[in-house]
């Protein structure tokens, strides 16, 4: 069973601030790392899937980096907006594609 | 993106009855689907891997006779909570991926309340 940790557990930032979260996971048997954005009453929305050490991905104001050797990934949000408020989940996956989720970081962006 | 549809989105049932939850991939075929459960204030926990045409693979601690999974076609997996009890009340959600190593797409989830 993978032990996936995310920090911080929750975060409040002002609109316009930039922020980042951390996901740490065991580096052994790594296959891929997924980031999801989950708004209340909606399905989790896939943000990124990363597989290679050193990978960096970007989608608008959101970007992520991956370090498979030390077992961590960072998610960055530049210029946070109220609509960015959600729970951000990371999940490493094994070769069978099953995801092991961290407990998530709950982001609240205050206008 | 790909669409996964899950029904019902919520259900209330009496203790001792069974409840069936459906998970459909609408625009792709999924030989494998996954069922997760979320306990209050906790993250999503994998319950089982649903394999088309064969038996599901259950995670440790998940009772296979309690949570029956059927994956009869490439676009449909069902989870049946048998003889439900109040402790089975939870949020259940399914996912599927069109291809290996791509993002998983999730259903809307099902909030089950057993009274």
For A29-50, the pLDDT digits (tens) are 788 999 999 998 888 999 999 9
- A97 contact residues in B (CB cutoff 8 A): 32, 34, 97, 100-101, 104
Average pLDDT for residues A13-27, to the nearest whole number? 95
State residue B101's pLDDT score: 60
Q: Percent of chain B having pLDDT more than 70?
A: 97
What sections of A30-99 are H helices per DSSP?
Answer: none
Q: What is the pLDDT of residue A29?
A: 77
Mean pLDDT across chain B: 91
State phi, psi for B95 to the nearest 5 degrees.
-145, 160
Is-contact B36 B96, C-beta < 8 A? no
CA distance A52 to chain B (A): 12
Examine the pLDDT at B64 and tell me if it is beyond 80: yes
In sequence order, the 6+-apart residues with CB closer than 8 A to the CB of B63 are none
Q: Is B68 exposed, middle or buried (0-12, 13-18, 19+ CB in 10 A)?
A: middle
pLDDT of B23: 96
The answer to whether residues B111 and B102 touch, using CB atoms and an 8 Å cutoff, is: no
Residues of A in contact with B95 (CB under 8 A): 99
Mean pLDDT of chain A: 92
Q: For residue A100, name the pLDDT band (cuts at 50, 70, 90).
A: confident
pLDDT of A7 over the 80 cut? yes
Q: What is the pLDDT of residue A96?
A: 67
Please name the residues in contact with B25: beta carbons below 8 A apart, sequence gap of 6 or more. B2, B3, B4, B33, B74, B75, B76, B96, B98, B105
* Mean pLDDT along residues B14-39: 94
Residue A77: its pLDDT value, please? 98
Q: Do B43 and A89 touch (CB under 8 A)?
A: yes
B45-53 long-range contacts, Cβ below 8 Å, gap at least 24? B45/A101, B46/A98, B46/A99, B46/A100, B47/B79, B47/B92, B49/A96, B49/A98, B50/B23, B50/B77, B50/B79, B50/B94, B52/B77
**Mean pLDDT value of segment B25-37:** 91
CB contact under 8 A, B104 and A89: no
Rounded to a whole number, what is the largest CA-CA distance in chain B? 40
């Amino acid at each position: 069973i993978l032990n996936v940790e995310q920090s911080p557990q929750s975060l409040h930032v002002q609109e316009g601030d930039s922020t980042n979260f951390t996901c740490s996971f065991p580096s052994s048997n790594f296959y891929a790392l997924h980031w999801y954005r989950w708004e209340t009453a909606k399905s989790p929305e896939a943000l990124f899937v990363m597989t290679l050490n050193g990978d960096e991905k970007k989608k608008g104001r959101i970007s992520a980096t991956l370090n498979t050797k030390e077992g961590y990934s960072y998610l960055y949000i530049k210029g946070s907006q109220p609509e960015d408020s959600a729970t951000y989940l990371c999940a490493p996956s094994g070769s069978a594609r099953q995801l092991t989720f961290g407990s998530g970081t709950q982001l609240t962006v205050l206008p | 993106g790909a669409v996964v549809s899950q029904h019902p989105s919520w259900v209330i049932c009496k203790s001792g009855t069974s409840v069936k939850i459906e998970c459909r991939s609408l625009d792709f075929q999924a030989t494998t689907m996954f069922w997760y459960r979320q306990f209050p204030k906790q993250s999503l926990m994998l319950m089982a891997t649903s394999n088309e045409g064969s038996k599901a693979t259950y995670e440790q601690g998940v009772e296979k006779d309690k949570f029956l999974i059927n994956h009869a076609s490439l676009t449909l997996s069902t989870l049946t909570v048998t003889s439900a009890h109040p402790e089975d009340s939870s949020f259940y959600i399914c996912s599927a991926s069109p291809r290996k190593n791509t993002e998983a797409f999730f259903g809307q989830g099902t909030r089950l309340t057993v009274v």
